[in-house]
Structures are given as C-alpha cells and as structure tokens.
Amino acid sequence: MAKTNKKQRLGRGLSALLNNDSIQSAKDDGAKEVVGNIIEIPVDAIIANPHQPRTQFDENALNELANSIKQLGVIQPITVRKNKAGKFDLISGERRLRAAKLAGLENIPAYVRLANDREMLEMALVENIQREDLDAIEIALSFQAMIDQLNLTQEQMSERVGKKRSTITNYLRLLKLDPIIQTGIRDGFISMGHGRALINIEDPKIQLEFYEKIIKDHLSVRQTEDLVKKFREGKILEIKPKKKELPEDVKSFENQLKEKFGKKLKISMNDNGKGKITIPFNSLNDLEQLKNLLQ
C-alpha cells in the first residue's frame, strides 16, 4: 500500500492474540480485542473462500482495480476469519484480494472475524447478495446455496438479507430456466424480466425458441410478456421471427423497380448485405413483357 495507518499495523499485543489458538469463538477470552480490528495481513497467508458464490471476475475490471490499488492502496479492507492453522480464511473481498495480488502487494488490510464454517458461509453469501454488480443468476445461486447448505427457509433468508420473500422466490425461479437462457442472463443478452416471462413456458425447447426471438427481434420485457401470454392462451402456435426491414435506400430502390416491373417484385437481403431480386410472372405473356423491359 502507498500509505499504512498506524491502527492497521499488527502490534505485538494483537499479534499474540491472533497466534493464540484458544481464541476461536467470539465468546472466548480476548476475542473482543481481535474482532473489529483492521490489520495488515500477508496475502499469501489468506486462503480463498471455498464457498465464494461469485464465479466470474471481469479481467479488465480487475486490472483497473489493481492500477487503482497501486496508486491509492486498498481503501476498503477485506474480511477474514482466523483459522487453527495460523492462517486466515477469506470471508469477503475476493475481488480486492485478487487485484491486490495483481498490484504486487505483499500485505492487505483486513477485518478479523471469528466464526464457524456455517457463520462464515452465511456471511459470505449475505454480503455477496447485497452487491450491486452480481447478475441475477449469481444471486439466485447464492439463495439456493443458503437453502441447500444452511437449511434456511425463504422466510429466514428474507430476514437475513433484507429482501421480500417474493423477491427471493422470483430469483430462485430463474434456476428453472434452460441453462442456455441462464447463461444469456449472466452475459447480459436478456434481462431478469425476460427470464421471469420465459419461466411461464414449461417446454424447454419452446423456451429456447422464445429466447432466440427476443435476441433476434430485440423484444422488450413487455413485448415478451405479451407474446408469452398469447402463446399460453393459444392465440399463437409458433414463434416466427419478425420480418427484417430493408434499409431506406434499398427500400427506395425496390419501389423504383416495382414501378417498372410490377408490384410483386421483391428484394430480400441478409445482415451481411447479400440478397436477391425476385420478379414473379404468371404467364408466357408476362415473361415476354419482362424481357422487353429488361432490353
């Protein structure tokens, strides 16, 4: 770090407490002097959290954070748990830790917590759920992990994370979507709102057809909801891609040709600019007239 606050230095008294294996719980003697302190910890003494709900870290964003850390240091301390091996388990702040390593830091400021494995997992999950940069699927997976690993009900999760139970239910329902659609939400091709609309279609194959149409035709959430509603009511039986409009200059040229060769003339063109001009005729007389026009 560029600057180190004296309060963040690992003094002899605090060092002795941290090396005291009898302090493993917040109820143990001396725990109050450990918990809440910000200390400098060697980055190689920190063990990554195996319960980390976040699975994707943007490389460019990490490099930007690393450059910032080189200039200003780590502004927000990470949170760790002291373990019995004399090292520290990371509870939260993996992105900051990764960036600190990229920046070449040997030490990083950290809050020290004392917690058992269940508390550690819960703290990591709850903190990550509160982050603004998590995508909807990552949040849903975090909620599911709380259910599977902590045996919490949705009501209990609601109390811990400060979100309505209906909100939690909506996130969890996203995990019922086809994996391809879940990936689409994570990568930003469609929104959570699109995903919530697609959940109402039970057939995964048809889900994917709707998903492809949303992307191809740039459908809004409202348009998707209306389309799904019509499908469920039987008003539409299949999903057809919206007809792609020709560029204005091509459409103008098409109108010029129609005036000369007939209204049924048609120009079709793909996204790469390749296409064809179709001039239908109904009889040999029509064909002869076309020949004369082309000469």
Secondary structure (3-state) at 288: helix
Q: What integer pLDDT is reported at residue 177 of this predicted model?
A: 92
Return the bridge partners of 250, or none: none
Q: What angle do CA 27, 31, 36 make, to 5 degrees?
A: 120
Please give the Cα distance from 199 to 178 (Å, whole number): 9
Per-residue pLDDT, 6 = 37
Catalytic residue among 40, 94, 122, 138: 94
pLDDT band at 5 (very low <50, low <70, confident <90, very high): very low
Query: How confident is the model over 117-162, as pLDDT tens digits?
Result: 677 667 777 776 777 677 889 888 888 877 776 778 888 888 888 8
Q: Look at residue 116 in the predicted model and tell me its pLDDT.
A: 64
How confident is the model at residue 223, as a pLDDT? 92
94 part of the active site = yes
> Quick one: which of 136, 137, 116 has its CA closest to 51?
116
CATH of 6-116, one of 3.90.1530.30, 3.10.105.10, 3.20.20.370, 3.40.50.10490: 3.90.1530.30
**Could you read off the pLDDT of 238-250 as tens digits, one per residue?**
665 555 677 888 8
Q: What percentage of the chain carries pLDDT values higher than 90?
A: 18
- pLDDT score, position 195: 95
Please report the pLDDT score of residue 4 as a whole number. Answer: 41
Q: How confident is the model at residue 7 (pLDDT cuts 50, 70, 90)?
A: very low
Residue 2 reports pLDDT greater than 50: no
Mean of the per-residue pLDDT values of the chain: 78
User: So where are the chain's domains?
Assistant: 6-116, 248-294
pLDDT in tens, 44-73: 889 887 666 565 677 888 888 888 888 888
Q: What is the pLDDT of residue 181?
A: 93
Angle in degrees, CA 182, 187, 188, rounded to 5: 95
pLDDT digits (tens, 9 = 90+) for 202-251: 888 899 999 999 998 889 999 999 999 998 888 876 665 555 677 888 88
- Residue 47 in contact with residue 53, Cβ under 8 Å? no
Instruction: Note the pLDDT tens digit of each residue in 151-191.
Output: 788 888 888 888 889 999 999 999 999 989 998 998 889 99
Q: What is the DSSP letter of 275?
A: E
User: Is 118 in contact with 128 (CB distance < 8 Å)?
Assistant: no
Per-residue confidence (pLDDT) for residue 33, from 0 to 100: 53
pLDDT of residue 198: 95
